[in-house]
Amino acid sequence: MRPVPLAAAALLAVSACHASPEKRAVADNAAAIESSLENQADAMEAAADNAADRNAAAAYQDAADALEDAKGNVADDARAAKGNVQ
Protein backbone atom coordinates (compact mmCIF):
# COMPACT_ATOMS: atom_id res chain seq x y z
CA MET A 1 0.00 0.00 0.00
CA ARG A 2 1.28 3.47 -0.79
CA PRO A 3 0.95 5.99 2.07
CA VAL A 4 1.13 9.10 -0.12
CA PRO A 5 -2.02 8.41 -2.20
CA LEU A 6 -3.87 7.34 0.93
CA ALA A 7 -2.82 10.55 2.65
CA ALA A 8 -4.03 12.52 -0.36
CA ALA A 9 -7.38 10.74 -0.21
CA ALA A 10 -7.60 11.50 3.51
CA LEU A 11 -6.88 15.17 2.88
CA LEU A 12 -9.52 15.21 0.17
CA ALA A 13 -11.99 13.72 2.63
CA VAL A 14 -11.07 16.23 5.34
CA SER A 15 -11.37 19.14 2.93
CA ALA A 16 -14.86 17.92 2.07
CA CYS A 17 -16.02 18.54 5.65
CA HIS A 18 -16.50 22.24 4.95
CA ALA A 19 -18.03 21.85 1.52
CA SER A 20 -21.56 21.69 0.21
CA PRO A 21 -23.29 18.29 0.16
CA GLU A 22 -22.69 18.08 -3.59
CA LYS A 23 -18.96 18.78 -3.21
CA ARG A 24 -18.78 16.26 -0.38
CA ALA A 25 -20.47 13.68 -2.61
CA VAL A 26 -17.93 14.34 -5.39
CA ALA A 27 -15.05 14.03 -2.91
CA ASP A 28 -16.48 10.91 -1.28
CA ASN A 29 -17.14 9.19 -4.60
CA ALA A 30 -13.70 10.10 -5.89
CA ALA A 31 -12.06 8.80 -2.72
CA ALA A 32 -13.97 5.51 -3.01
CA ILE A 33 -13.00 5.08 -6.66
CA GLU A 34 -9.37 5.98 -5.94
CA SER A 35 -9.27 3.47 -3.09
CA SER A 36 -10.72 0.76 -5.30
CA LEU A 37 -8.21 1.48 -8.06
CA GLU A 38 -5.38 1.47 -5.53
CA ASN A 39 -6.48 -1.92 -4.23
CA GLN A 40 -6.67 -3.30 -7.77
CA ALA A 41 -3.21 -1.91 -8.57
CA ASP A 42 -1.82 -3.49 -5.39
CA ALA A 43 -3.34 -6.83 -6.40
CA MET A 44 -1.80 -6.57 -9.87
CA GLU A 45 1.59 -5.73 -8.37
CA ALA A 46 1.33 -8.72 -6.06
CA ALA A 47 0.47 -10.92 -9.05
CA ALA A 48 3.48 -9.48 -10.90
CA ASP A 49 5.72 -10.28 -7.93
CA ASN A 50 4.43 -13.86 -7.83
CA ALA A 51 4.35 -14.56 -11.57
CA ALA A 52 6.78 -17.25 -12.67
CA ASP A 53 6.85 -15.99 -16.25
CA ARG A 54 8.61 -12.67 -16.94
CA ASN A 55 6.15 -11.75 -19.69
CA ALA A 56 3.20 -12.33 -17.40
CA ALA A 57 4.89 -10.32 -14.65
CA ALA A 58 5.46 -7.45 -17.08
CA ALA A 59 1.82 -7.57 -18.18
CA TYR A 60 0.62 -7.48 -14.56
CA GLN A 61 2.94 -4.56 -13.83
CA ASP A 62 1.68 -2.70 -16.90
CA ALA A 63 -1.89 -3.25 -15.70
CA ALA A 64 -0.94 -1.95 -12.25
CA ASP A 65 0.63 1.14 -13.81
CA ALA A 66 -2.50 1.75 -15.90
CA LEU A 67 -4.65 1.52 -12.76
CA GLU A 68 -2.39 4.03 -11.02
CA ASP A 69 -2.79 6.37 -14.00
CA ALA A 70 -6.56 5.93 -13.87
CA LYS A 71 -6.52 6.75 -10.17
CA GLY A 72 -4.68 9.97 -10.93
CA ASN A 73 -7.23 10.81 -13.61
CA VAL A 74 -10.06 10.29 -11.12
CA ALA A 75 -8.38 12.69 -8.69
CA ASP A 76 -7.91 15.29 -11.43
CA ASP A 77 -11.50 14.92 -12.63
CA ALA A 78 -12.82 15.17 -9.07
CA ARG A 79 -10.94 18.41 -8.48
CA ALA A 80 -12.34 19.80 -11.73
CA ALA A 81 -15.87 18.64 -10.89
CA LYS A 82 -15.71 20.15 -7.41
CA GLY A 83 -14.93 23.48 -9.04
CA ASN A 84 -18.10 23.19 -11.13
CA VAL A 85 -20.40 22.22 -8.26
CA GLN A 86 -22.03 24.88 -6.10
Per residue, the 3-state secondary structure of the chain, as one string, reads: CCHHHHHHHHHHHHHHHHCCHHHHHHHHHHHHHHHHHHHHHHHHHHHHHHCCCHHHHHHHHHHHHHHHHHHHHHHHHHHHHHHHCC
Number of domains in the chain: 1
Please tell me the predicted confidence (pLDDT) of residue 85: 78
pLDDT values of the chain reduced to their tens digit, one per residue, 86 residues: 455 565 556 555 555 556 688 889 888 999 999 999 999 999 999 999 999 999 999 999 999 999 999 999 999 998 888 888 77
